[in-house]
Chains A and B, each alone.
Chain A
């Protein structure tokens, strides 16, 4: 039954793709939402069914048919359900459903309505294949599939150059990671002889993979993850991806697709644990990304870009979790992040909707009285992400940092903590600039200023609700060994990491530190943007170079462009002009010309006079006779 979960949205996408042109909008919305709703229902049923399945018989596998089979390369089309994929299906279909519903309102007046829902359903399908695929190849199918949908949806408004560009950039950057991912798959096939997750687990447990090989494979796979999950060095596509419609940013570029890398690392956790080095790399890349992206978020004025950098940074946290061996904590952060980040995006979308598409925070302010529902929900999201106690983000972020500390990864822990200050700061900078302070709204936008329709606000409220309570399934260990339901549920899949050897007092102290850090960040934001709004300008005036560096995002795009894209294109042009056209074609044309020249030269002997020819003939005869006679 559970194999229907991906197929329903897939079938819906197929119908919309083929017949969408002739279907009325109303029908399209119902079909798209209902298919995801049905998937969500099945996911819930399967989830509860899974609770009853004894851990020994996990995962439940359904093989549909043999897909590719040639020599030792073998990939079946088979789906699996285990706690890890179950959680992912719930997140994908649950958040996906809310975003589908929200989109009905948000995209109501777009002329590409049918196309939009086709892509959105297709994305849900691909994402579910990614999380339910029972082997690496099928996972890669979903992996590429979501990449394609991301390309299509980022470039949804393809008439805009920037949107088309961003889509293409996302796809190509992702492909760089994917190339490494493919190599990782190949190494696994070479050693294990199969891409099946069970076979891989068996091979690792049976000691078939050496540590060095595990490191190589894990790093290749992780390179794929840096592309998909927007980590250093391949994160550059995500900020640009904000060109897509906002619900898309919420679903794909916050809640689900970009966290696929975290899912993949958790899925392959045995490999990363076996390698050790790879886990360390994951943790360090995650930590660096977390802080690097957070600094870039400080100076952005585009509301969605701030959220985009925040997403990159939060995924960095998830990778910190995976890197220090706390895969469950990483997944937990993925889980809570899906709620509050999609909430933030959708609320930001609601703000944009209210302001006729305005994205610049400098042209907002004081919106809280105009948007009575958007404001509180956005605030809940901001509090959750900032790590204020009793909301979901606090529990998950704290779990990650505690584990990092417990593993003795003090450097990573410190970076994470710094990131937490920055997170709290830029999120509240966003809140204060948007909803508080003086109104800076442009007049034409103000005329149409209105709260969004119910179809958009209801999903906000539901998401806000979950942003508050989602954390309570994963309470800290201090509150009891069995408090962390989330991690216990994942136990059958995730190799239980090294024990946390922290005294109760240390753990409480760590919790206090992170609370203090979060509140501190919020307070600084309050001082900067509400109490004395001149402060940021003074700081900018003191450190103009630093500000410029941050504002231009460390010039990474420019560097990549100058270091890779330009040389490649220009170099190809030079090679084409000189080698292809001159050397190769020159040789060929030269051969032809030489032949034709030789013909011309020999042609000079052809006078056209019969007598000349006869004379030559005669001479020939004489010479021949002479040769014969003497």
Chain B
């Protein structure tokens, strides 16, 4: 690779943010056009990733590596079949987010757009980092712009919401930091060299007891981000208070950082611990599916309804990830993209309604369809995509997720399938109350149907929804190699046994640890024997 395309995609928005600093504050429109241009160029640049990505290769591609601070802290970027899609999702949604805040943000436009651009860089950085230190830097750095976006441009309870969001996330990520340090020191003890490279850690084999603790550190950070039940309560609050564009990014991309974390770190790094905690995590995910759906049923605010629907959908994605088979994991990645599109679109749509009505309470609406026919069609398509109607993207992901779950546990699938019913119930009921029926609120009569700008950012999403629903091959095929490598790592433990070269890799004495590993192995074998 001659041209550092990944660095470009990651840091080009930062360049935009720097440029915006020097543009006088009063020229708000110039700011908007500049921000749009920068996000669009980033999008175009990221599309070259798609075209040059080789789906048959499991290893990260477009790799850039150079030393940075020493002691294993390197600047190391790369994408594989999993992160590629999340990068594309981010770059695809950012121009849309900028467009959607064209008129709805009127105060401090400059700062707003700067934070948006910084946010984009932070998120992309999380997905492309292959060094844990770099990853952690981006993981935390991304919080700062989000904190300001909600805290400054949010609704009346924004301070509470943003503090809750940041503190809960920080709580998780600090534990993850500790776990990262522990891994770092174990690796040093095992090999005598410093490294924070993810791929080096994959080779590490750890005592299951230690794995358990480290796994919990990582898993908690990601579970809060996803968010899995019962760590989900920050989500509705953050969504309700956040401005539209922030909600879109939050739902569409930020939550995916949690699932991505599970796929990239928690699963392949700690396969033994995973085995131990799998039942617990699956149950939490399952509860999330049903609980989120039921809570969505009774929400009074459209945004918190969509937020709870996210909890439910993300529960399905997590359960599919934990099914640990090709269909489930590919379905989960696909569903991550779908959820990004459909939930992002739903938040945009709520934003459009809010710009007209200045309320998001379901009871204030009714009969909007007759006033805004084009809008109602768009709303319906996005909603049906979230419901998982065949022909739209949601179906492909949902059926793969459910089938993956089904292959692993039929009982779980039977419970998880309730999402099919619940999603239809809460979304269509909401749609009916908002869009159908006679016009009850006189204010609605003055609503104008969507304008060209709004059309401009909804149409690409709708096209993607149909494309991903009707012809998912290009998406699925680029995941194959990476997903099968990931599953290999989880199932076959194809890791180099490093412990023989070292004195200890665990907190316990070597012999005890070894005995324990042997014992677990024996136990597993015995269990397998019994099952046969």
Chain A 176-230 interface residues, beta-carbon cutoff 8 Å to B = 176, 178-179, 182-183, 186, 189-190
How many angstroms between the C-alpha atoms of A576 and B391 in the bound complex? Answer: 34
Is A59 positioned at the interface, with any CB of B under 8 Å from its CB?
A: no
**Max count, chain B CB within 10 A of own CB: residue among A145, A179, A189:** A179
Nearest-neighbour CB distance to chain B for A9, whole angstroms, equals 14
Check B473 against A66 for contact (C-beta < 8 Å): yes
Query: How far is B475's CA from A66's CA once the two chains are assembled, in angstroms?
Result: 13
Per a CB cutoff under 8 Å, which of A140, A155, A186, A571 touches B406?
Answer: A186
User: Which listed residue, B230, B295, B424, touches A576 by the CB 8 Å rule?
Assistant: B295
B residues in contact with A172, CB < 8 Å = 421, 424-425, 428
CB pair A588–B327 under 8 Å, yes or no, is no
> B285 within 8 Å of A by Cβ?
no
Do residues A190 and B295 form an inter-chain contact, with CB atoms below 8 A? no
Contacts of B425 in A (CB 8 A): 172, 175
Chain A residues closer than 8 Å to B47, beta-carbon distance? none
Q: Is the CB of A68 within 8 A of B476?
A: yes
Decide if B294 touches A575 in the complex (CB within 8 Å): yes
Within the complex, which residue of B297, B327, B391, B414 is in contact with A572, where a contact is CB–CB below 8 Å? B297
Contacts of A144 on B, CB cut-off 8 Å?
Answer: 389-390, 395
The contact of B432 among A137, A148, A168, A179, by CB within 8 Å, is A168
* Inter-chain contacts of B431 with A (CB < 8 A): 168
Is A585 an interface residue, CB under 8 A from the partner?
Answer: yes
Interface residues of B in 166-183 (CB under 8 A from A): 167-168
Within 8 A of B (CB), among A68-95: 68-73
- Asked whether, in the complex, the Cβ of B437 is within 8 Å of the Cβ of A569, the reply is no
Write the nearest CB–CB distance from A397 to chain B, whole angstroms: 35
B384 contacts across to A, CB distance below 8 A: 148
Stretch in A156-164, A437-445, A488-496 touching the partner? A156-164
Interface assignment of B71: CB less than 8 Å from any CB of chain A: no
CB contact between A148 and one of B168, B232, B389, B471 (< 8 Å): that residue: B389
Determine if B399 is an interface residue (Cβ-Cβ < 8 Å). Answer: yes
Tell me the bound Cα distance from A584 to B234 in angstroms: 10
B436 to chain A: which residues have CB within 8 Å?
155, 158-159, 161, 163-164
Residues on B with beta carbons closer than 8 Å to the beta carbon of A190: 406-407
- A148 to B389 CA separation, bound complex (whole angstroms): 8
Those of A514-570 within 8 Å (CB) of chain B: 568-569
Prevailing SS type, chain A contact patch = helix
Closest chain-B Cβ to A23's Cβ sits at a distance in Å of: 15
A588 and B233 in contact (CB under 8 A), knowing A155-B436, A186-B413? yes
Binary flags per residue of B453-493, CB closer than 8 Å to A gives 1, else 0:
00000000000000000111100100000000000000000
Interface string of B392-409 (1 = CB under 8 A from A): 000110011011101100
Residue contact A68 to B233, C-beta cutoff 8 Å = no
Asked if A145 and B400 make an inter-chain contact with CB atoms under 8 angstroms apart, the answer reads no
Q: Does A65 contact B (CB under 8 A)?
A: yes
Chain B, residue nearest A148 (CB): B389
Contact in complex: B418, A179 (CB < 8 Å) = yes
Q: Report A520 CB to chain B, min CB distance, Å.
A: 44
Q: Does B164 contact A (CB under 8 A)?
A: yes
1/0 per residue, CB under 8 A from A, across B287-310: the answer is: 000010011011000000000000
A564 CB, nearest partner CB in chain B, Å: 11
Residues in B neighbouring A102, C-beta threshold 8 A: none
Query: Is B209 engaged at the interface, CB distance under 8 Å to the other chain?
Result: no
Complex CA gap A171/B424 in Å reads 8
Q: Separation in Å of the B480 CB from the closest CB of chain A?
A: 8
A159, B437: Cβ atoms closer than 8 Å: yes
A67 contacts chain B at the CB level, 8 A cutoff: yes
Query: Complex Cα distance A256/B349, Å?
Result: 35
Interface: B367 (CB within 8 A): yes
Cβ–Cβ contact B437 & A164, under 8 A: yes
CB distance from B473 to the nearest CB of A (A): 6
With beta carbons under 8 angstroms apart, the residue of A69, A568, A573 that contacts B473 is A69
One of B294, B374, B400, B470 near A73 (C-beta < 8 A): B400
Known: A164-B432, A171-B424, A172-B424. A588 touches B390 (CB 8 A): no
Chain B residues near A571 (CB, 8 Å)?
Answer: 294
Q: Is the CB of A145 within 8 A of B391?
A: yes
Is B421 a contact of A584 with CB atoms below 8 Å?
A: no
CB <8 Å contact, B295 and A580:
yes
Q: Which chain B positions have C-beta within 8 A of A168?
A: 428-429, 431-432
A73-B428 in contact given A159-B367, A164-B437, A584-B233 (Cβ < 8 Å): no
- Once the chains are docked, how many angstroms separate the CA of A65 from the CA of B414? 30
A580:B403 contact, CB within 8 angstroms: no
Q: Select A68's contact among B168, B374, B472, beta carbons within 8 Å.
A: B472
- Asked if A165 is at the interface (CB within 8 A of a chain B CB), the reply is yes
Cα-based distance from A125 to B390 in the complex (angstroms): 13
B327 contacts A70, CB within 8 Å? yes
Contacts of B413 in A (CB 8 A): 183, 186
A592 at interface, CB cutoff 8 A: yes
Nearest CB of chain B from residue A516's CB, rounded to whole Å: 46
Chain B residues, CB < 8 A from A186: 402-403, 406, 413
CB of A264 within 8 A of chain B?
Answer: no
Supposing A70-B331, A179-B418 touch, asked if A158 and B390 sit within 8 A by C-beta, the answer is: no
* Contact mask for chain A residues 14-50; partner B; CB cutoff 8 A; 1 contact, 0 none: 0001000100000000000000000000000000000
B369 interface contact, C-beta 8 A: yes
Cα separation A44 to B410 with both chains bound (whole Å) = 44
Q: Is the CB of B471 within 8 A of A65?
A: yes
Q: Is the CB of B390 within 8 A of A182?
A: no
Once bound together, how far apart are the Cα atoms of A402 and B424, in whole Å?
A: 42
Contact A159 B370 (CB under 8 A): yes
CA distance A137 to B446 in the complex (A): 44
In the complex, what distance in Å separates the CA atom of A167 from the CA atom of B436? 11
Q: Residue B168 contacts which of A164, A179, A588 (CB distance < 8 angstroms)?
A: A588
Q: Which residues of A contact B407 (CB under 8 A)?
A: 72, 190
Quick check: A67 and B472 within 8 Å, CB to CB? yes
Chain A nearest CB, measured from B356 CB (Å):
19
By a CB distance below 8 angstroms, the chain A residues around B396 are 68
Would you call A178 and B420 a contact (CB within 8 A)?
yes
By beta carbon, the residue of chain A nearest B296 is A572
Asked if A179 contacts B167 (CB within 8 A), the reply is no
Q: Which residue of A lies closest to B436 (CB)?
A: A164
Measured CB to CB, the closest approach of chain A to B376, in angstroms, equals 9
Assembled-state Cα–Cα distance A172/B413 (Å): 19
Measured in the bound complex, the distance between the Cα atoms of B402 and A151 in whole Å is 25
Assembly CA distance A141 to B384 (angstroms): 13
Q: Which residues of B contact A580 (CB under 8 A)?
A: 233, 295
Alpha-carbon gap, A145 to B390, bound state (A): 7
B131 within 8 A of A: no
How far does the alpha carbon of A141 sit from the alpha carbon of B398 in the complex, in Å? 13
Q: How far is the CA of A158 from the CA of B395 in the complex (A)?
A: 26
**A66–B418 CA distance with the chains assembled, in angstroms:** 28
Determine the distance from Cα of A115 to Cα of B377 in the docked complex, in whole angstroms.
10
* Chain B residues, Cβ within 8 Å of A115: 373
| B279 in the interface (beta carbon within 8 A) | no
Q: Which of B326, B370, B421 contacts A70 (CB 8 A)?
A: B326
A-B contact pairs, 28 of them (CB 8 A): A65-B471, A67-B472, A68-B396, A70-B326, A72-B407, A73-B399, A141-B395, A144-B389, A155-B436, A158-B370, A158-B436, A159-B438, A160-B438, A164-B432, A167-B432, A168-B431, A172-B428, A175-B420, A175-B421, A182-B399, A182-B417, A183-B413, A186-B403, A569-B298, A575-B294, A588-B164, A588-B234, A592-B164
Not counting A179-B417, A573-B298, a sample of 16 additional A-B residue pairs whose C-beta atoms are within 8 angstroms of each other reads: A69-B476, A70-B327, A71-B325, A141-B390, A144-B395, A145-B389, A158-B435, A159-B436, A161-B437, A165-B432, A168-B429, A171-B424, A172-B421, A572-B297, A572-B298, A575-B291
10 tightest Cβ-Cβ pairs between the two chains A and B: A71-B326, A164-B436, A141-B390, A158-B436, A572-B294, A71-B327, A186-B406, A175-B424, A70-B330, A179-B420
Which residues of B pack against A, CB within 8 Å?
163-164, 167-168, 230, 232-234, 291, 294-295, 297-298, 325-327, 330-331, 367, 369-370, 373-374, 377, 384, 389-391, 395-396, 399-400, 402-404, 406-407, 413-414, 417-418, 420-421, 424-425, 428-429, 431-432, 435-438, 470-473, 476
